[in-house]
Amino acid sequence: MISGVLYALLAGFMWGLIFVGPLIVPEYPAMLQSMGRYLALGLIALPIA
């Protein structure tokens, strides 16, 4: 039960970073942020697969 709640909180945090990230680092281009986001997603999903 606790792990499910923690995973849900982590998922919400990651989802929120998509919108807050560009506000935190506005000097980075949007394309670079998107590439980093999808690279991180791939690196996280690779061990799970």
Q: How many domains does the chain have?
A: 1
**pLDDT value, residue 18:** 83
**pLDDT value, residue 19:** 87
Question: CA-CA distance, 18 to 36, in Å (whole number)?
Answer: 11
**pLDDT value, residue 8:** 95
Domain holding 42, by residue range, is 2-48
**pLDDT value, residue 35:** 92
Instruction: Walk along the chain (49 residues) and give the pLDDT tens digit of each residue.
Output: 899 999 999 999 988 888 888 898 889 898 998 898 899 889 989 998 8
Cα separations in angstroms, 11 against 26, 29, 31, 34, 42: 23, 24, 22, 18, 15
Q: What pTM value is reported for the model?
A: 0.58
Q: What contacts 28, CB < 8 A, 6 or more positions away? A: 22
**pLDDT value, residue 32:** 92
Spell out the SS3 assignment of the chain: CHHHHHHHHHHHHHHHHHHHHHHHCCCCCHHHHHHHHHHHHHHHHHHHC
